[in-house]
Amino acid sequence: MGQYDVSPSTGSIPPGQAGVVTVTFRADGAKFYENTLAVDIADRDPQDASEGLPFELCAESSIPGINTEDLD
């Protein structure tokens, strides 16, 4: 998924339980990244977000620097 690693990418969680999904961002230069992670839940109404429940992922990487043009 581009600059993001999602782990685990598939799995099962019993009803009434919780699970942890880890999203790791890999920066590549000074940029803003925005992607959508779709989570599918078994036995849910497919009319509601047929591609999965969307979760927006946003991250920004920056490169430290010194501005030598705007001295004010």
The Cα–Cα gap between 44 and 16 comes to 15
Question: For residue range 2-12, what is the model confidence (pLDDT) as tens digits?
Answer: 888 999 988 88
The Cα–Cα gap between 59 and 72 comes to 30
Q: Given a cut of 90, is residue 69 above it in pLDDT? A: no
pTM for the full model? 0.63
Question: For residue range 2-46, what is the model confidence (pLDDT) as tens digits?
Answer: 888 999 988 888 888 999 999 999 888 888 999 898 888 878 887
